[in-house]
C-alpha cells in the first residue's frame, strides 16, 4: 500500500508540475476547514481562496448576516450544507493531496492549502463551482484566483447553492 501511495505521489507531482503532499483526512471541522494527518502530525487545514458560511452561531455568522441581509438562520443552514458537502468529499481516512502557495499558515496557525482529490479535481474549486462557497482570495495566496472566480460565476449563473432562489 505504501508503495502505491508513493507511486501515486510521484505521478501526481509530475502531472501537475508542482509539489503535492499527501495527507490522511481525520475529520471535517466545517465547510472550509478539516483536520488531517500529515507526516505523523495532526494538522488543521484551511482551504485557500474559499469561504463557506458559518455552520454555528458566532460573531462571523452575525457579521455575514448583517452584511448580506440574509437571516442568521439561513446563513447557518447554508453553512451546514457546505459542511455536509465537504464531508461527502473529504471522508475520514481518505488520502488527499495538499498544494501550498506563498504563505503556509494563517493567523490562527492553520495550514493553508489547495486540496487535490485526484490529479484532475481541485476541491477548493469544486466547492465554489457547486455553490457551497464564495471566493475569498487574500494575497499573496492567489495562484488559482482566476479559476475560482470562473467557478463562482458558473455557480451564480446556474443559481447553485448560495446563489439559489431558495435562500
How many CB atoms within 10 Å of residue 125?
A: 23
Q: Which of 2, 27, 43, 46 is catalytic?
A: 46
Vertex 106 angle, CA 101 and 108, to 5°: 155
Q: Which of 43, 110, 125, 130 is catalytic?
A: 110
Run of H or E residues at 24: strand 21-30
Q: Which of 43, 54, 99, 130 is catalytic?
A: 54
How many CB atoms within 10 Å of residue 6?
A: 11
Active site residue 54: yes
Could you tell me if 115 and 124 are in contact, meaning their C-beta atoms sit under 8 angstroms apart? yes
3-state SS, one letter per residue, for 43-105: EEEEECEEECCCCCCCHHHHHHHHHHCCCHHHHHHHHHHHHHHHHHHCCCCCEEEEECCCCCE
Give every CB contact of residue 150 below 8 A, 6+ residues apart in sequence: none
Active site residue 46: yes
Taking the C-alpha atoms of residue 115 and residue 33, their distance in angstroms, rounded to an integer, is 11
Active site residue 159: no
Question: Active-site residue numbers?
Answer: 46, 54, 110
Amino acid at each position: 500500500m505504501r508503495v502505491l501511495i508513493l507511486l501515486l505521489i510521484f505521478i501526481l507531482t509530475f502531472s501537475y508540475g508542482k509539489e503535492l503532499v499527501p495527507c490522511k483526512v481525520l475529520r471535517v471541522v466545517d465547510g472550509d476547514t478539516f483536520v488531517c494527518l500529515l507526516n505523523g502530525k495532526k494538522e488543521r487545514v484551511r482551504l485557500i481562496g474559499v469561504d463557506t458560511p458559518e455552520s454555528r452561531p458566532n460573531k462571523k455568522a452575525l457579521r455575514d448576516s448583517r452584511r448580506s441581509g440574509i437571516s442568521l438562520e439561513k446563513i447557518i443552514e447554508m453553512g451546514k450544507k457546505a459542511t455536509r458537502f465537504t464531508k461527502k468529499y473529504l471522508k475520514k481516512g481518505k488520502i488527499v493531496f495538499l498544494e501550498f502557495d506563498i504563505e503556509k499558515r494563517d493567523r490562527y496557525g492553520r495550514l493553508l492549502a489547495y486540496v487535490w482529490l485526484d490529479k484532475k479535481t481541485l476541491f477548493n474549486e469544486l466547492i465554489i463551482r457547486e455553490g457551497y462557497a464564495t471566493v475569498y482570495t487574500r494575497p499573496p495566496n492567489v495562484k488559482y484566483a482566476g479559476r475560482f472566480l470562473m467557478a463562482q460565476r458558473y455557480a451564480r449563473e446556474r443559481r447553485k447553492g448560495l446563489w439559489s432562489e431558495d435562500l
